Structure 1
Amino acid sequence: MTRNPSSADTDRFAMLTFERDIAAPLSVLWQVWTAPAARMVWAAPTSSVTVEFVEADGRVGGREVSLCKVEGQPDIRCEVGWLDMQPALRSVNYEVVSSAGVTQSAALVTADLSGAGELSRLTVTVQLSSLAENMAAGYRQGFDAGLKNLAATAERTMVLEKVIRAPRSLVWGAWMNPETLPQWWGPDGFSCRTTRIDLRAGGEWVFDMIAPDGTVFPNHHRYGEVRAEERIGYTLLWGENGPKHADAWASFEEQDGATKVTLGMVFSTAAEFQDAKGFGAIELGMQTLGKLERFVASR
């Protein structure tokens, strides 16, 4: 005998679609959507929610585990598994939400990216199965808020990319060696004067960047994540223990014996992002990656 599905059964399944136009290039939108350091910036739907990332591996086969915390309520655990990634085009992931050890929902999430120039569109399709209760309304609210945050994050994010003709181990070694990093870091003509340096998760680099005219720019990098030969995540401060300037990350990807380096920065405010663009931060950042390339070539 075939049982006709009840309204309770059909309420458990939903197809949800979210679309948003974003004032950022596709390369930036892709990084903000997939890079763990950027996802940590926009993940919390509201200011009353704190999101703690327990695990974050943003590649095919990788997993992301986060805890959404609201005062006085049980933590909500979200597990994301990346199933497919086509850079600047599409991603597919599963998402399982649970609370107090009970699975609340499971979903298949497909993100499609399109656009040209400085304007992109993100279309997210969620195939949702509610298990403990009808989660559709909560998903609508959460994704609407999350994508609003994502758009604001993308619009103050800078992404630099460079393919360096050297093995990843050499590029990583030049970046994560306390002896060599200060030798090449900074734009052409700049030098670094280090106060202390500890390039580990939980470590820091306190240093001055010195311009060709002698102007001193105090810097403080705090390292939150270090995955050997894959990526680092760190915070940029205006001088030692100063105000936060940006959340940043660098990733290292093998490409036919070469290494694609991606350097991303989410500036603390849109005004800081515009100021940075105005004084040539993109060009100066590419000069820095050029110095890294020359340094590695000389080894």
Structure 2
Amino acid sequence: MTLQDAPGRFATLTFTREVAAPLATLWQAWTAPAARAVWAFPTPAVTVEFLEADTRVGGREVSLCKVAGAPDIRCECGWLAITPAARSVNYEVVSTSGETQSAALVTADFSGDGARSRLVVTVQLSSLAGDMEAGYRQGFDAGLGNLADAAERTMVLERVIKAPRAVVWGAWMNPESLPQWWGPDGFSCRTTRIDLRQGGEWVFDMIGPDGTVFPNHHLYREVRPQERIAYSLLWGENGPKHADAWAAFDEEDGATKVTLGMVFSTAAEFQTAKGFGAVELGQQTLAKLERRVTG
């Protein structure tokens, strides 16, 4: 019997999710490494450690799924095609203890209308060590459920700034300039500590126009120069986390497209932030950055 004849070796799986979030937001939740780290685990018993994350054509993502008392499961994802807010295609290879368990081609198709969007994921699976179909069905079904939940509490802001990426990055990742423009109109920053490196932090107070003090603590998990940063937002120094955030910097015809994303820890926190005008206030912050770098 040939491999092609072996029962259970090959399967095509399809998953569909209707998501109460705009298409652009769902796309960011699907592709931004910081967001993927929020929803990638299939169950609470599994922790996922990302070793690499480069969501570009030719880039790859390598992660380890860890379960207490079991060998780590290594997943390598390579991005083959990306059409923003429309489609992505990637390969996926899963291995344990150096033995390849499965290979798959994953195609994700996106569509949306206003505040709602739709995702259809097709997995063409080849099981190489036992029948992996049931595990894939369970894992993708749970992961996409997590994705939908995360997307529905994600806020995304974008702004194209007419300045080179190196200049925009320099204004953001300079410990002297960042506190000078960060925050909405009328707000100022009072810094306690600032270390804008991977593993670093920024402990500061945002002070509103009426003198109200808002304690903040940013923990920087990833810094890829002139590409992206990822950080956690805490309510005050070592306080509870209220969001996982990222900022991406993309060249666009001599300008820089800045994407600022936040996955709030709970739906209630997302609704509260949305209610007090976080989108408008965030755009004011990016406008201050633009004025800083363009004069």
Alignment of 1:73-84 (within 5 A): 73-84=70-81
- Describe the superposition over 1:141-180 as per-residue Cα deviations: whole angstroms up to 9, x where unpaired: 0000000000100010000000001110000000000010
Mapped pair 1:101 → 2:98 = yes
- State, as a whole percentage, how many aligned pairs show the same letter: 78
- Describe the superposition over 1:112-153 as per-residue Cα deviations: whole angstroms up to 9, x where unpaired: 000111100000001111111111111000000000000100
User: SS state of the match for residue 287, structure 2?
Assistant: helix
- Structure 2 residue runs of 5 or longer lacking an equivalent are none
- Describe the superposition over 1:68-112 as per-residue Cα deviations: whole angstroms up to 9, x where unpaired: 111111110000011111111000111000001000001110000
Q: Which residue of 1 aligns with 2:173?
A: 176
Quote the offset at 1:5 in angstroms. 7.2
TM-score by length of 1: 0.97
Q: Which residue of 2 aligns with 1:52?
A: 49
The whole-number CA distance in structure 1 between the counterparts of 2:230 and 2:59 is 17
Q: Alpha carbon RMSD of aligned pairs, Å? A: 1.1
Alignment of 1:269-284 (within 5 A): 269-284=266-281
Q: What amino acid does structure 1 have at the position aligned with 2:77?
A: V
The whole-number CA distance in structure 1 between the counterparts of 2:177 and 2:255 is 20
Q: What amino acid does structure 1 have at the position aligned with 2:181?
A: W
The whole-number CA distance in structure 2 between the counterparts of 1:154 and 1:28 is 6
Quote the offset at 1:264 in angstroms. 0.3
Q: Which residue of 1 aligns with 2:286?
A: 289
User: SS state of the match for residue 221, structure 2?
Assistant: strand
The count of residues paired between Structure 1 and Structure 2 equals: 295
Alignment of 1:243-254 (within 5 A): 243-254=240-251
The whole-number CA distance in structure 2 between the counterparts of 1:128 and 1:223 is 36
- Structure 1 residue runs of 5 or longer lacking an equivalent are none
Q: Which residue of 2 aligns with 1:204?
A: 201
- Conserved in 1, the CA contact under 8 Å of 2:3 and 2:9? no
Of 153, 157, 160, 1:156 maps to 153
Q: Which runs of 4+ in 1 moved over 3 A?
A: 3-7
Mapped pair 1:119 → 2:116 = yes
The whole-number CA distance in structure 1 between the counterparts of 2:293 and 2:23 is 29
Of 60, 70, 77, 1:63 maps to 60
Q: What amino acid does structure 1 have at the position aligned with 2:73?
A: I
